[in-house]
């Protein structure tokens, strides 16, 4: 068959190990998945209530215009409904944007390391990938971005805070970058962890879309809202950008139940606030633990940390697995010597530190 040649050098997404599989393999009663940055406190209890009471007409296609959630998001973010696009997770947003803008002859600029789906989608579309090494502290090297960007640059990806480092760039830094970035490139601000940021230097970037008509700001219900299983992401940008993206979007890309669940979750801002507060408290424990044990840790503004391990990262993951903790090896993320750990509940983190102690005594 005539596959795109690039596919021979690509692999499907490698998922982390599942709780059930780890329980079976290691004979464990209790396993904690701290690998995919899911919300350890679940989701708003109102979502389960909504699903139980749901009397949707399941034989009908979803609303193509996603009017319910669209209206709520437009209201919440104070944007026009036509300045919004809703996707099957922000993963699909990356695909939609790439499909609309990338092609052979075009290039796309991103950090190394950052969210792998940007490069993955660029490969599929045949675009050139220009990766700019991160600074020593883990920040995006935005000066470097400006140096490699040119008229053929179709998309610049700014992941803020960045996955897998957790690093956060202040709003002023982003705005200075937007002022200088080529106007011919779409600047995608991927804010999957926006809600978790507690720095006072974060403004709401969605308010900037009228100042920068090449800016798109992307968020998701998968992380702080705890709705990863439902796959709902969204973005705001000028209507002209949204219009073009809608041309490549599959018409019924989000299902009815997921759209309803997201509406209910959005309405429960108190749940979100509580999660963010608990996460911040627990995040400081990771920083303290790293300091105590002289381990490097990136400055996270998210619900995960990238922390140094005293042995090979794969080996560290294996030992942590034996103690019932699933985390992500830095070897897979482009950060060897580190593991990425989703910040769990107080109890989970206490257990995790105990398991991690085993790595330190064995080194
Ligand atoms: C998790 C994550 C996403 C994907 O989120 P979904 O909405 O679940 O597809 C996008 N960008 C970054 C940086 C992420 O960490």
Sequential pLDDT tens for the chain (363 residues): 999 999 999 999 888 889 999 999 999 999 999 999 999 999 999 999 999 998 777 899 999 999 999 999 999 999 999 999 999 999 999 999 999 999 999 999 999 999 999 999 999 999 999 999 999 999 999 999 999 999 999 999 999 999 999 999 999 999 999 999 999 999 999 999 999 999 999 999 999 999 999 999 999 999 999 999 999 999 999 999 999 999 999 999 999 999 999 999 999 999 999 999 999 999 999 999 999 999 999 999 999 999 999 999 999 999 999 999 999 999 999 999 999 999 999 999 999 999 999 999 866
Numbered ranges of CATH 3.40.640.10 in the chain: 45-268
Closest Cα to atom 5, ligand 1: which residue?
90
Burial class (CB in 10 A: 0-12, 13-18, 19+), 111: buried
Q: If you measure from the C-alpha of residue 220 to the centroid of ligand 1, how many angstroms do you get, rounded to a whole number?
A: 7
Q: If you measure from the C-alpha of residue 176 to the centroid of ligand 1, how many angstroms do you get, rounded to a whole number?
A: 25
Name every protein residue with a CB atom under 6 angstroms from any ligand 1 atom.
37, 89-91, 115, 159, 163, 190, 192, 220, 222, 228, 233
pLDDT at 363: 61
Q: For residues 128 and 162, is the Cβ–Cβ distance under 8 A?
A: no
CATH classification (class only), 45-268: alpha beta
Residue 287: phi, psi to the nearest 5?
-65, -45
Q: Which atom of ligand 1 is nearest to the CA of 36?
A: 1
Closest Cα to atom 12, ligand 1: which residue?
192
Q: 116: which 2 tokens?
A: 């792998």
CATH number of 5-43+270-362: 3.90.1150.10
Closest Cα to atom 2, ligand 1: which residue?
192
Closest Cα to atom 11, ligand 1: which residue?
192
State how far the Cα of 298 lies from the Cα of 210, in Å rounded to an integer: 33
Q: If you measure from the C-alpha of residue 43 to the centroid of ligand 1, how many angstroms do you get, rounded to a whole number?
A: 17
Closest to 16 measured CA to CA, from 35, 34, 31, 32: 35
Q: If you measure from the C-alpha of residue 259 to the centroid of ligand 1, how many angstroms do you get, rounded to a whole number?
A: 17
The pick from 85, 87, 90 for probing ligand 1's pocket by mutation, whose C-beta has the most ligand atoms within 8 angstroms, reads 90
Residue 308: phi, psi to the nearest 5?
-70, 145
Q: If you measure from the C-alpha of residue 190 to the centroid of ligand 1, how many angstroms do you get, rounded to a whole number?
A: 8
Q: If you measure from the C-alpha of residue 90 to the centroid of ligand 1, how many angstroms do you get, rounded to a whole number?
A: 5
Look at the chain and count its residues.
363
Numbered ranges of CATH 3.90.1150.10 in the chain: 5-43+270-362
CB crowding 35-51: b at 16 or more within 10 Å, else e? bbbbbbeebbeebeebe
The pick from 220, 225, 301 for probing ligand 1's pocket by mutation, whose C-beta has the most ligand atoms within 8 angstroms, reads 220
Q: If you measure from the C-alpha of residue 352 to the centroid of ligand 1, how many angstroms do you get, rounded to a whole number?
A: 24
Q: Is the pTM of this model over 0.75?
A: yes
Q: If you measure from the C-alpha of residue 360 to the centroid of ligand 1, how many angstroms do you get, rounded to a whole number?
A: 32
Q: Which atom of ligand 1 is nearest to the CA of 220?
A: 7
Q: If you measure from the C-alpha of residue 191 to the centroid of ligand 1, how many angstroms do you get, rounded to a whole number?
A: 9
Q: If you measure from the C-alpha of residue 1 to the centroid of ligand 1, how many angstroms do you get, rounded to a whole number?
A: 32
Omega prior to 19 cis, within 30 of 0: no
Tokens 């959005």, located at residue: 266
Q: If you measure from the C-alpha of residue 158 to the centroid of ligand 1, how many angstroms do you get, rounded to a whole number?
A: 13
The pick from 165, 195, 222 for probing ligand 1's pocket by mutation, whose C-beta has the most ligand atoms within 8 angstroms, reads 222
Closest Cα to atom 1, ligand 1: which residue?
192
The pick from 43, 159, 163, 218 for probing ligand 1's pocket by mutation, whose C-beta has the most ligand atoms within 8 angstroms, reads 163
């Amino acid at each position: 068959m005539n596959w795109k040649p690039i596919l021979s050098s690509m692999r499907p997404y490698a998922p982390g190990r599942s709780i059930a599989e780890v329980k079976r393999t290691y004979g464990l009663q209790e396993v904690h998945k701290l690998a995919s940055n899911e919300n350890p406190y679940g989701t708003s209890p109102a979502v389960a209530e909504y699903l139980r009471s749901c009397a949707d007409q399941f034989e009908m296609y979803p609303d193509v215009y996603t009017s319910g959630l669209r209206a709520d998001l437009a209201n919440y973010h104070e944007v026009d409904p036509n300045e919004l696009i809703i996707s099957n997770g922000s993963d699909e947003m990356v695909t939609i944007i790439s499909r609309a803008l990338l092609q052979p002859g075009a290039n796309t600029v991103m950090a190394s390391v950052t969210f792998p789906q940007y490069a993955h989608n660029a490969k599929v579309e045949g675009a050139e990938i220009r990766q700019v090494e991160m600074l020593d502290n883990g920040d995006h090297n935005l000066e470097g971005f400006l140096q490699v960007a040119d008229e053929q640059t179709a998309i610049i990806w700014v992941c803020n805070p960045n996955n897998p480092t957790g690093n956060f760039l202040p709003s002023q830094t982003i705005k200075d970058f937007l002022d200088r970035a080529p106007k011919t490139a779409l600047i995608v601000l991927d804010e999957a962890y926006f809600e978790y940021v507690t720095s006072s230097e974060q403004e709401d970037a969605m308010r900037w879309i009228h100042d920068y008509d090449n800016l798109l700001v992307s968020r998701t219900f998968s992380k702080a809202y705890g709705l990863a299983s439902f796959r709902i992401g969204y973005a705001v940008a000028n209507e002209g950008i949204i219009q073009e993206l809608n041309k490549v979007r599959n018409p019924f890309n989000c299902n009815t139940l997921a759209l309803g669940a997201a509406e209910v979750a959005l309405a429960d801002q108190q749940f979100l606030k509580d999660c963010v507060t608990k996460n911040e408290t627990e995040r400081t424990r990771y920083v303290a633990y790293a300091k105590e044990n002289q381990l490097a840790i990136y400055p996270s503004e998210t619900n995960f940390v990238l922390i140094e391990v005293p042995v090979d990262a794969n080996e560290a993951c294996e030992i942590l697995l034996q103690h019932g903790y699933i985390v992500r090896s830095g070897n897979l993320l482009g950060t060897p010597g580190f593991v990425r750990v989703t910040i769990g509940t107080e109890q989970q983190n206490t257990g995790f530190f105990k398991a991690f102690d085993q790595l330190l005594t064995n080194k």
